[in-house]
Amino acid sequence: MINRSKALAVFSGGQDSTTCLYWALKHFDEVHTITFSYGQKHSLEIEVARKIAEKAGVDFHLVDIAPIAAIGKNSLTDAAVAMDSEKPAGCWPNTFVPGRNMFFLSIAAVYARENGIFDLVTGVSQTDFSGYPDCRDSFIRSLNVTLNLAMEEQFVIHTPLMWLDKAQTWALADRLGIFDMVRNETLTCYNGVPGEGCGHCPSCRLRNEGLEKYLSDRDFFLRSVDGIV
């Protein structure tokens, strides 16, 4: 019998996954986290994730999948690749790690199944500035079906941020009572700087532009996420 009172959050310690972790705590009786070491240059995120999981009172499970870093070249895992500051015309920015979310969610599903968990939570968003293909709703729905077929189970992948922009993501964190923690303790920066970040990498610019937008009309954005919390 499938237990819908438990969830597993794919967790990096960044703004999006931390917001989703606390969203899951509102919607499920028992929440677990899984974090991946995939050869990322900013590996400090693993320790940040560990600390936030401890603060949230949830267990922290770390899985090493570093070999995926050796498969392709991207600026998040290869120090020799200079990071794209803007999305190049006609292709993905080199901050895209091919297959990352597919690997993450597939491994998470296996781990979840072995622990009697069938609800997965991830912080992907189709409104992401780069439009990474593995952040799209169509991909998540397809993978959800594939996981169910592969294991003859009834997994549900929850994506609370799928249709939110960054201003709304800040609003959701605020509604969940973790605005200050997300602002000061998470690590979203591609250069591995916690909190406000380096300020100039694509991730920091997206995060900070969203924050400014949110603070400019806080009441409006808070209302816009009322149905999600």
- Please state whether 8 falls in left (phi above 0), alpha (psi between -120 and 50) or beta: beta
Predicted confidence at residue 86, as pLDDT, reads 63
- Fold category of 6-165 in CATH: Rossmann fold (3.40.50)
Helix 166-175 / helix 202-216 crossing angle, nearest 10 deg: 60
| Average of per-residue pLDDT across 216-222 | 97
Q: Which tops the pLDDT comparison, 203 or 108?
A: 108
Three-state helix/strand/coil letters over the chain: CCCCCEEEEECCCCHHHHHHHHHHHHHCCEEEEEEEECCCCCCHHHHHHHHHHHHHCCEEEEEECHHHHHCCCCCCCCCCCCCCCCCCCCCCCCCCCCCHHHHHHHHHHHHHHHCCCCEEECCCCCCCCCCCHHHCHHHHHHHHHHHHHHHCCCCEEECCCCCCCHHHHHHHHHHCCCHHHHHHHCCCCCCCCCCCCCCCCHHHHHHHHHHHHHHHCHHHHHHHCCCCC
Longest dimension (CA), the chain: 49
Predicted confidence at residue 3, as pLDDT, reads 74
pLDDT, one tens digit per residue, over 135-178 is 899 999 999 999 999 999 999 999 999 999 999 999 999 999 99
Rounded distance between C-alpha atoms, residue 93 and residue 111, angstroms? 31
Structure-block tokens of residue 74: 């991207």
pLDDT band at 52 (very low <50, low <70, confident <90, very high): very high
User: CB of 17 within 8 A of CB of 11?
Assistant: yes
Q: Where are the domains of the chain?
A: 6-165
Q: Is 53 exposed, middle or buried (0-12, 13-18, 19+ CB in 10 A)?
A: buried
pLDDT, one tens digit per residue, over 84-141 is 556 655 566 655 667 788 989 999 999 999 999 999 999 999 986 667 888 899 999 9
Structure-block tokens of residue 76: 């998040």
Indicate the pTM of the whole model. 0.91
